[in-house]
Amino acid sequence: MTILHLALAGDWDAAIRAGEYRVSTLGRSLEEEGFIHACADPTQLRGVAGRFYADVTEPLVVLTIDEDRLGCEVRYELAPDAGEEFPHIYGPLPVAAVTSVTPFSP
C-alpha cells in the first residue's frame, strides 16, 4: 500500500543526503511531533495543502511512500480538526521507502 507526504523540496534534498527524512509536518520534526504526518490519497493531500501549506512559497514535493519498505509502524488515526483518519508514520522515513517524488503546486 502507498501513502503520501507533502514536503518542502529542500527538506527532501536534505533527507537524500542523510538517508532518511525526519520532518513531521511544516516546521515540526519527527522528534517534536512523535510521528510523520501522511495522507492516504490525493484528496487528503489536497486538503492538507489547502489548510497548512497555502502560504508556503518554497517549492513543494509529494513523496509517494511504500508502507512495506518503512520498517516502522503506520497507524491510521483520527484527526479531530479534519474528521477523518490519516496515516501517521511512527519512525524516520527511509529514503528507500519513497517510490516517487513529484513537484506539487497548491
pLDDT at res. 81: 77
Query: What does pTM read for this prediction?
Result: 0.94
Q: Which residues of 54-69 are buried (b: 16+ CB within 10 A; e: fewer)?
A: eeeeeebbbbebeeee
Q: Which three cell numbers stand for residue 91?
A: 519512525
Helix H, strand E, coil C: the string for the chain is CEEEEEEEHHHHHHHHHHCEECEEECCEEHHHHCCEECECCHHHHHHHHHHHCCCCCCCEEEEEEEHHHCCCEEEEEEECCCCEEEEEEECCEEHHHEEEEEEECC
Range scoring the smallest mean pLDDT among 4-8, 10-14, 80-84: 80-84
Q: At which residue does the C-alpha cell 543526503 appear?
A: 17
pLDDT at res. 100: 98
39-96 residue pLDDT tens: 999 999 999 999 999 999 999 999 999 999 999 999 999 987 778 899 999 999 999 9
Domains of the chain: 2-104 (3.20.170.20)
